[in-house]
């Protein structure tokens, strides 16, 4: 079945059926991609940030504080 045919069939479904389908698709992706590939540039950046953290150049913040700060900046 072609993608456009699949979309036409999906359009015929009710909301609850679509949600069940989406859940099934996500579960399928999770099963088949248990380890997602990470680009080399991302590995390099993570390693750099970890080294900076370990050396005391940067500090960690609680996610709640970061979230509140971001929310406040957009008020």
Instruction: Summarize pLDDT for 5-35 with one digit per residue, the tens.
Output: 999 999 999 999 999 999 999 998 888 876 7
State residue 64's pLDDT score. 95
Distance CA 65, CA 63 (A): 5
What are the sequence ranges of the domains in the chain? 3-32, 40-73
Joined together, the tokens standing for residue 4 give 């456009």
| pLDDT given at position 34 | 67
Are the C-beta atoms of 42 and 34 separated by less than 8 Å?
no
């Amino acid at each position: 079945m072609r993608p456009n045919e699949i979309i036409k069939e999906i359009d015929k479904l009710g909301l609850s059926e679509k949600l069940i389908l989406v859940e099934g698709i996500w579960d399928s992706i999770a099963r088949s991609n248990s380890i997602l590939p990470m680009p080399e540039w991302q590995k390099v950046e993570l390693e750099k940030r970890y080294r900076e953290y370990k050396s005391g150049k940067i500090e960690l913040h609680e996610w709640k504080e970061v979230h509140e700060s971001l929310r406040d900046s957009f008020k």
